[in-house]
Amino acid sequence: MRNLKTALLAAVLVGSTVFAGAAPAQAAPILRGVYYENSECHRVGNYGIQNGYWPGPYQCVWYPVPTNNPPGFWFLYA
């Protein structure tokens, strides 16, 4: 019984040191908005960083939609 307790304690100590030394994972970008124009996407992206709504950087990504008018949308990720 004493050997079992010693083994469990060793496992807990090793496991806790692994988690204590681990770095936090990088957060995935979150969709912050969808826009018709590139300039509007960048305007809102800069506004969000300057006013503390999200930590930088942001990214505006174009997704074309051939059957639509306008022919696509700008997606803001931050």
Q: State mean pLDDT over 64-69.
A: 85
Task: Give the model's pLDDT for residue 49.
Answer: 94
> pLDDT (tens digit, 9 = 90+) per residue, 1-50?
555 445 444 555 445 444 445 555 566 789 999 999 999 999 999 999 99
Burial 3-30 (b: 16+ CB within 10 A, else e): eeeeeeeeeeeeeeeeeeeeeeeeeeee
| 78/21: higher pLDDT | 78
Q: Name the pLDDT band for 66 (thresholds 50, 70, 90).
A: confident
- The residue written with tokens 């305007």 in the block is 43
Number of neighbours of residue 45 by Cβ within 10 angstroms: 24
SS3 (DSSP) at 67? coil
Q: What are residue 47's phi and psi, to 5 degrees? A: -60, -45
